[in-house]
Amino acid sequence: MEEVPHDCPGADSAQAGRGASCQGCPNQRLCASGAGATPDPAIEEIKEKMKTVKHKILVLSGKGGVGKSTFSAHLAHGLAEDENTQIALLDIDICGPSIPKIMGLEGEQYVEDNLGVMSVGFLLSSPDDAVIWRGPKKNGMIKQFLRDVDWGEVDYLIVDTPPGTSDEHLSVVQYLAAARIDGAVIITTPQEVSLQDVRKEINFCRKVKLPIIGVVENMSGFICPKCKKESQIFPPTTGGAELMCQDLEVPLLGRVPLDPLIGKNCDQGQSFFIDAPDSPATLAYRSIIQRIQEFCDLRQSKEENLINS
């Protein structure tokens, strides 16, 4: 059974397909037509296609500019260091597809033999082209990515999303609902203006029954490479991600400090881990990646035990 938006008016309501909460729902047109909430057939097609994908992770953020795509890229790089692990990175930030640039891809879709990428950026004639699409066209593109791409045997599918809780987020959750999503990693920075939006993101996850793997506090201080002293570039005026996670009872996966090399490597389309293997940021990333893997393995083990019991 697919998830429906919070405050769904129901297929029999006069507001069916017309309410504010209907925007972005794959069943919006059917409900508005009065034909009833017949599930989009693509949901079952995607479920079948995703049988070869072991783990599915969404990377979310409430606000833009917090390093969500950078984290998605380095999560993919880190997991792909094991040559026996197959990784796919899907960029559904339709209007701002930055993954091809961060991954150093120009016309190619494979970073390594075991790391593939799909993005709307590959479909543009120029990186400067604007994607000016309404919700239904965005939803259709996400459906095509999930249903029509030949994903093959994949251990981890990482989905990089745009900021917020809008069309793209509803679509990917609804289309993948039957295929089982492991959970979401939510990216924030320490200051309250970011945490405020992350609270909304956590609330969204709970409303659509999307498991929360945990929160990552990005740009969490700057460690001077010479004197090794730490400075707070974005002061955590309300306690930062740690206090928020305690209040909302969600795991804090870790903190990634600022490192100028991260931005430089992303601009050059290279893995930061190779250039700075001993950086505090690299060590933080590796610890977080390990915790994500442990979460996915534990979730899979629990589900297998339920099936066998």
Point out the annotated binding site: 8, 22, 25, 31, 62-69, 224, 227
Q: Which residues pair with 186 in a beta bridge?
A: 60, 215
Of the candidates 227, 98, 72, 94, the residue with the CA atom closest to the CA atom of residue 158: 72
State the distance between the two ends of the chain, measured CA to CA, in whole angstroms.
23
Q: Which residues pair with 157 in a beta bridge?
A: 56, 88
CA 56 – CA 176 distance, rounded (Å): 9
Annotated binding site for ATP: 62-69
Of the candidates 191, 289, 204, the residue with the CA atom closest to the CA atom of residue 248: 204
What percentage of the chain's residues is helix, strand, coil (to nearest 5)?
Answer: 45, 20, 40
Are 115 and 89 in contact by the 8 Å Cβ rule? The answer is yes
63 φ/ψ angles, rounded to the nearest 5 degrees: -130, 150
DSSP string, 281-306: HHHHHHHHHHHHHHHHHHHHHHHHHH
Annotated binding site for [4Fe-4S] cluster: 8, 22, 25, 31, 224, 227
User: Strand, helix or coil at 228?
Assistant: coil
| CB burial of residue 178 (10 Å; 0-12, 13-18, 19+) | middle
Beta-carbon-side half-sphere exposure of residue 80 (alpha carbons within 13 Å):
25
Are 245 and 224 in contact by the 8 Å Cβ rule? The answer is no
Which region, left, alpha or beta, applies to residue 104 given φ > 0 means left and ψ of -120 to 50 means alpha? left
